[in-house]
Amino acid sequence: MFSHNSEVPYQIARMTRRGFLQGSMASLAGAALPIPKARAGLRAYSLSAVPAKVKLLGVKGAGKTDVWTYSGSTPGPLIRARQGERLRIDVSNGLPQETTLHCHGLRIPNAMDGVPELTQAPIQQGERFVYEFDLHDAGTFWYHSHTYSAEQVGRGLNGALIIDEKEPPMVDRDLVWVINDWRVNNAGVMSDDFNHPHDISHGGRIGNLITLNGAEWEDFDVKAGERLRIRLINAANARVMGFKFGGLNPKIVAQDGHPVKPYEPAGGRIVFAPGQRVDLIVDIAGTPGERLAVVDDYYKQFTYTFITFNVEPGEVLRESPLDAPITLSGNPLSEPDLANAETKKVLIEGGAMGGLRAAVYKGDKVELRKLWRQHRKVWVLNGVASSGVNMDPIFKLKLGKSYRWRIHNDTVWDHPMHLHGHAFRVIERNGKPEPHTPWADTVLLYAGDVVDIAFVADNPGDWLFHCHVLEHHSGGMGAVVRVA
Ligand code: C2O
Ligand code: CU
Name the closest-CA residue to atom 3, ligand 1.
104
Task: Locate the ligand 1 atom nearest the alpha carbon of residue 115 and give its number.
Answer: 2
Give dist(CA 147, CA 480) in Å, integer. 16
Residue 20, pLDDT > 50, answer: no
Task: Locate the ligand 1 atom nearest the alpha carbon of residue 104 and give its number.
Answer: 1
Q: Which ligand places an atom closest to the C-alpha of 412?
A: 2
Q: Which amino acid is at 80?
A: R
pTM: 0.92
**Tens digit of each residue's pLDDT (9 = 90 or more) over 53-101:** 999 987 766 789 999 999 999 999 999 999 999 999 999 999 999 999 9
Mean pLDDT rounded to a whole number for the chain:
91
C-beta 102 within 6 A of ligand 1: yes
Name the closest-CA residue to atom 1, ligand 1.
104
Give dist(CA 216, CA 206) in Å, integer. 16
Task: Locate the ligand 1 atom nearest the alpha carbon of residue 275 and give its number.
Answer: 1
Q: Which ligand places an atom closest to the C-alpha of 381?
A: 2
Distance 251 CA to ligand 2 centre (A): 28
CATH class of 12-311: mainly beta
Q: Where are the domains of the chain?
A: 12-311, 338-483
Give SS3 for 215. strand
Q: How confident is the model at residue 26 (pLDDT cuts 50, 70, 90)?
A: very low
Q: Which amino acid is at 239?
A: R
DSSP state of 99: B
Distance 467 CA to ligand 2 centre (A): 5
Locate the DSSP E strands across 401-449.
402-409, 415-419, 424-429, 432-433, 439-440, 442-445
Q: Which strands, in side-by-side order, build the sheet including 227-234?
A: 209-212, 173-182, 227-234, 277-283, 251-255, 258-263
Q: Is the separation of the CB atoms in 240 and 220 below 8 Å?
A: no
C-beta 105 within 6 A of ligand 1: no
Distance 412 CA to ligand 2 centre (A): 10
Taking the mean position of all CA atoms in its chain, how far away is CA 134?
21
Mean pLDDT of all residues in 442-453: 98
Give dist(CA 126, CA 91) in Å, integer. 10
Same fold, 12-311 and 338-483: yes
C-beta 159 within 6 A of ligand 1: no
* Least confident stretch, 54-63, 352-361, 409-418, 422-431: 54-63
For residue 322, what are the contacts with CB-CB under 8 A and spacing of at least 6?
170, 171, 172, 225, 227, 283
Residue 269, pLDDT > 70, answer: yes
Task: Locate the ligand 1 atom nearest the alpha carbon of residue 464 and give its number.
Answer: 2
C-beta 146 within 6 A of ligand 1: yes
Q: Which amino acid is at 94?
A: G
Residue 5, pLDDT > 50, answer: no
Distance 91 CA to ligand 2 centre (A): 28
Give dist(CA 479, CA 466) in Å, integer. 6
Q: How confident is the model at residue 390 (pLDDT cuts 50, 70, 90)?
A: low
Q: Is the separation of the CB atoms in 385 and 394 below 8 Å?
A: no
Q: Domain 338-483 sits in which CATH superfamily?
A: Cupredoxins -  blue copper proteins (2.60.40.420)
